[in-house]
Amino acid sequence: MVDYIVDGNIAVLEINNPPVNALSIHVREGLLTGIQKANQDGSVQAIVIIGKGSTFPSGADIREFGKPPKEPWLTAVGEAIEASEKPVISALHGTALGGGLEVALFSHYRIADERSRVGFPEVKLGLLPGAQGTIRLPRLTGLAVAMRIITSGDHINAPEALKYGILDKLISGNLLQEAKTFAKSVIGKPLDNRRLSKIAVRDAATVDKHFDEALAEVKRKYKGMIAPVNCLKSIRGSAKLPFVEAARLEAALFRELLTSAQSAALRYSFFADRSAPRWKLPSGASIENTKPDIIKSVAVIGAGTMGSAIAICFIRVGIPVLLVEQNDKLLQNALKNIGQILQGSVKLNRITADQRKQSLQILRGETSLDIVSDVDLVVEAVFENLKLKQEIFARLDKICKPSALLCSNTSTLDIDKIAVATNRPGKVAGMHFFAPAHIMKLLENVYGTHTSPSTVATIMDIGKRIGKVSVLVRTCDGFVANRMNRMVGNEAVFMLEEGALPQDVDRVLEDFGMAMGPFRVTDLSGSDVGWRIRQERAKEQGIQLTYETRFVNGERYSSLPDRLYELGRYGQKTGKGWYRYEKPFARTAYPDPEITDVINSHCRSLGIERRVIPPQEIIERCLFAAINEGFKVLEEGVAEKPENIDIIWQYGLGFPRYRGGPMFYASQVGLKTIYERVCYYYDAFPHSSYWAPSDLLRKLASHSTEVPIDQWTSKERSRL
Ligand SMILES: CC/C=C\CC(=O)SCCNC(=O)CCNC(=O)[C@H](O)C(C)(C)COP(=O)(O)OP(=O)(O)OC[C@H]1O[C@@H](n2cnc3c(N)ncnc32)[C@H](O)[C@@H]1OP(=O)(O)O
């Protein structure tokens, strides 16, 4: 894994561990032996460390964390590099990250391909750069820059790294040749001033000020995360303590993180990010064996907030869009809004004025459906009404060319019921964007009974092209996101009826790490949206909803949200919802005594005695109910694997990444506990049938030892 090649008086240690030259045990062994061999070899006068293939090491091997550690540690390898009597030059290309950058910081010199990037992304894995990265980097860059690089985890491009003193030279030609030439130029020069452990942190006297500022910043930006705080503590150590003691402190802080639940969740999330878009259908068709069609043009039907934002997703990556709205006034409004949103992106430096212009040039608004006959893909984004969607799909089927894909942005409706309106069910699928669609990363792609593998391949591919995290799910009521999230909403409202206030529920879930509690989310989207859907469904079933309604089809029902609607409290847009706002569209939510009165009088009129609801109950009722549904989603095959569910929650529903997602969180709580609590709540609330425990959960919980999350589906689903 590390080739030892001698060329004249230069030994080259070439790391060969594709795809990213991670510093796995055999690489560490190879580097250590290579350094020792080169120091013993009388003909060698300098040593070059370089990566084969596309990159210098991009870090430690993440798969080794959580397993019994194997010597030599990276620090021991690094100390041997620094102690070398012959100059060691690290020659960087690609992405020199984490442990890879640490290898470079142990070296006496660092040169780099001018296109390379460096960085310490450990914080994103809930770790710190634990092979002396936190105490070596400040010696080169000063404290403020080191704190920023290490706590953000961001990559730094080579010219910037040169400016900060991380690199000694940029190379535009052949890196290996240049590295050998550079190595020859430093032979015989003193090494002690090149050994970072011998150099002081130049701005050590200012450490407390930098620490306090950076701590306040990370507590605000990375609320609830422990890794950025430990990074800062270790960097502070680099300035306050002798080198050896600082290294000891760093090691202790690293160990604390390595064994933390947060790091386990973040490492799981790293691999889940890569695994979730890899789709597979029950038929065996998969990303590996199915080719996508190339989409060159798109029509978006419906120019409301959602349709407009979806159009932006395509035009900003150069895919022309026809935006269709039946009413010209609405269409012109939408086109104006899109222009303004893109102008906002220019102001935020996300795109240039030129890119905005180019995007708008490939957007065309139309008021007739007939115009979409030639597009490759249609995304329908009209009001959530099955009949309306069926009518539109039937018309699209007649208008569009036979090869065109017809997709719906429905958030809940069964794709099969939409597909039956066409003569091309194989080319019908769901593309469920999350609001605001031009910002939210998630795309929940939905296949129906007849959706063809090539349609699936195409919607997954186009999702990637527009920069979304695409996850494939099978059609069912609400798919994965809304189906599971419905339990959170239901339980949150039921708890208001039993004793909680909106701010109590939101605070507990936000302290848990959710981006927003369910009531703040409802205020954002508007309580009128849910009201319309409930009325629509009641009408379909011939049911009359009143304030006295407590059960619908035998299921517990709360009319509290309906009261809110009747009071005109639609949320932020009316300046009043579950909270009070300074004015319509203001963002800061204030608890509202009027809401407390509404809730109290609702309870009185229904004869409900209110009680104190402890935080743990709020967590369990909202999250365990969703988790139980998640197991049903898995046992039915709606989601292929737990990672898919977790990625949907992270990118679509604001679940804290440092908790992995609801399914990973369940694995940390323990399935026996989850199962017992689900059974307890099912006993307590028999009229909320979603508490009926999932068979998959029950079976997994019955194993004498915890079944690891990567075996949940393989172990039990096939036997259900
Ligand atoms: C004492 C402790 C010392 C040090 C601590 C550390 O070093 S922690 C690790 C720090 N490094 C990182 O976090 C880098 C992680 N990797 C990346 O950010 C990207 O992979 C990278 C390097 C920018 C390349 O991106 P690209 O999009 O080109 O590839 P992709 O991400 O799909 O990765 C390709 C496959 O490689 C696997 N992989 C990547 N990095 C690691 C790693 N450090 N350890 C193990 N495996 C890694 C990745 O999972 C992909 O595998 P696949 O099977 O194809 O899904």
493-512 pLDDT, tens digit per residue, is: 999 999 999 999 999 999 99
How would you classify the pairing of strands 169-171 and 109-113? parallel
Indicate the CATH number for domain 615-717.
Answer: 1.10.1040.10
DSSP structure class, residue 371: G
Question: What are phi and psi for residue 616, nearest 5 degrees?
Answer: -60, -35
Average pLDDT of the chain to the nearest whole number? 96
To test ligand 1's pocket by mutation, which of 24, 62, 120 has the most ligand atoms within 8 angstroms of CB? 62
What was the ipTM of the complex prediction?
Answer: 0.99
CATH of 515-606, one of 1.10.1040.10, 1.10.10.10, 3.40.47.10, 3.40.50.9100: 1.10.1040.10
Fold match, 2-259 / 515-606: no
- Contact yes or no for 116/92 (Cβ under 8 A): yes
Q: Does residue 63's CB lie within 6 angstroms of at least one atom of ligand 1?
A: yes
Omega cis (within 30) before 642: no
Between CA 384 and CA 10 the distance in angstroms is 69
Indicate the CATH number for domain 2-259.
Answer: 3.90.226.10
250 catalytic per annotation: no
Q: Does residue 300's CB lie within 6 angstroms of at least one atom of ligand 1?
A: no
Q: Residue 4: pLDDT band by 50, 70, 90 thresholds? A: very high
Domain parsing of the chain, residue ranges:
2-259, 298-475, 515-606, 615-717
102 catalytic per annotation: yes
For residue 124, which atom of ligand 1 is closest to its CA?
Answer: 13
Task: Identify which of 95, 96, 20, 29 has the alpha carbon closest to the alpha carbon of residue 62.
Answer: 20
Kindly provide the b/e burial profile for residues 355-384, where b requires at least 16 CB atoms within 10 angstroms of the residue's own CB: bbeebeebbbbbeebeebeebbbbbbbbeb
Measured in Å, residue 121 CA sits from the centre of ligand 1 at 10
Residue 301 has pLDDT above 70, yes or no: yes
Between CA 47 and CA 35 the distance in angstroms is 8
CA atoms lying within 13 Å on the CB side of residue 601: 8
Task: Identify which of 214, 259, 262, 261 has the alpha carbon closest to the alpha carbon of residue 234.
Answer: 214
> Residue 593: what pLDDT?
97
Catalytic residue chosen out of the listed positions 122, 380, 497, 510: 122
Please enumerate in sequence order all residues whose Cβ is within 8 A of that of 711, keeping only pairs 6 or more positions apart, or say none.
none
Q: What CA dihedral angle connects 54, 60, 66 and 72, to 10 degrees?
A: 130
> Residue 533: what pLDDT?
83
To test ligand 1's pocket by mutation, which of 1, 15, 17, 20 has the most ligand atoms within 8 angstroms of CB? 20
Measured in Å, residue 372 CA sits from the centre of ligand 1 at 42
Residue 346 has pLDDT above 90, yes or no: yes
Question: What are phi and psi for residue 693, nearest 5 degrees?
Answer: -65, 140
Q: Does residue 125's CB lie within 6 angstroms of at least one atom of ligand 1?
A: yes
% the chain with pLDDT above 70: 99
Q: Does residue 119's CB lie within 6 angstroms of at least one atom of ligand 1?
A: no
Q: What is the pLDDT of residues 254-298, one digit of tens each?
A: 999 999 999 999 999 999 999 999 999 999 999 999 999 999 999
Q: Which helix (H) or strand (E) holds 180?
A: helix 175-186
Q: Does residue 369's CB lie within 6 angstroms of at least one atom of ligand 1?
A: no
Residue 178 has pLDDT above 70, yes or no: yes
Measured in Å, residue 107 CA sits from the centre of ligand 1 at 22
Catalytic residue chosen out of the listed positions 102, 640, 643, 716: 102
Average pLDDT score over residue span 221-235? 97
Task: Identify which of 448, 408, 424, 320 has the alpha carbon closest to the alpha carbon of residue 372.
Answer: 320
Q: Which helix (H) or strand (E) holds 257?
A: helix 243-258
Q: Does residue 131's CB lie within 6 angstroms of at least one atom of ligand 1?
A: yes
Region of residue 264 (left: phi > 0; alpha: psi -120 to 50; beta: else): alpha
CA atoms lying within 13 Å on the CB side of residue 94: 21
Between CA 178 and CA 182 the distance in angstroms is 6
Q: What is the pLDDT of residues 625-640, one digit of tens each?
A: 999 999 999 999 999 9
For the chain, first and last CA: distance in Å?
A: 44
Residue 719 has pLDDT above 70, yes or no: no
How would you classify the pairing of strands 95-97 and 88-92? unpaired
Residue 694 has pLDDT above 90, yes or no: yes
Average pLDDT score over residue span 316-334? 96
CATH 3.40.50.720 is held by the domain 298-475: yes
Q: Give the max Cα distance, the chain.
A: 93
